[in-house]
Amino acid sequence: MDSIVNSLVQNIEQETEHCRSLNLAFVRIACIFEMHFQKRYSSLLEVCPELEGLQFDRNEIEKIKASLKKFVEENPSHPNVCSALGSLVLTRDPGLKEFYLSILKLNFQWKISANVFHAMLALESLGEKIFYTIEGQFIGSRGSHDMDNFLIAERYLNKLGKGKTS
């Protein structure tokens, strides 16, 4: 029985370390993308000083982007989806619009408010008018866990003609 308990404890400890490592990877990616796409100093260098002065070529950046997309597609309910979407937003890539729409629709159906919010922010960053009333007035966003985000998402998806969302 002790070996089962030890195994369970070991699994939990390994997952804790894995989560810490994954979170740091997302911080590093955000730092790299800020420097690459915004051509500016990233305040995240204070957390990731090993990245200072490094340059990343187009192939490396595209490899990271593809990895982020794959992560979100294969793990759509993972707690780090918001981090992955936040990094992808930094790319300002209009080619990601359909990807963001699919993530929005899926998470709307699953009622994962933080992912709905971040998918809407991603679409907004591409020029979509999401946080606006029907009359065109800016309503802003209240945060990732605000239940009004579901109403906003539903209105937006219906406006696009994506069919019934609920």
The per-residue pLDDT string of the chain (166 residues; one tens digit each, 9 = 90 and over) reads 789 999 999 999 999 999 999 999 999 999 999 999 999 999 999 999 999 999 999 999 999 999 999 999 999 989 999 999 999 999 999 999 999 999 999 999 999 999 999 999 999 999 999 988 778 888 877 788 777 889 999 999 998 885 454 4
Q: Give the CB-side neighbour count of residue 110, counting CA atoms within 13 A.
A: 15
Tokens of 62: 């595209």
Instruction: Report d(CA 160, CA 139) in Å as an integer.
Output: 19
Instruction: Report d(CA 69, CA 95) in Å as an integer.
Output: 12
32, 47 in Cβ contact below 8 A?
Answer: no
Instruction: Report d(CA 33, CA 56) in Å as an integer.
Output: 9
Which pLDDT score is estimated for 162?
56
Which pLDDT score is estimated for 145?
75
CB environment 135-151: b (16+ within 10 A), e (fewer): eeeeeebeebeeeebbe
Q: Give the CB-side neighbour count of residue 133, counting CA atoms within 13 A.
A: 4
Which pLDDT score is estimated for 163?
47
Instruction: Specify burial of residue 85 (Cβ count, 10 A radius: 0-12, 13-18, 19+).
Output: buried
User: What's the pTM value of the predicted model, to 2 decimals?
Assistant: 0.86
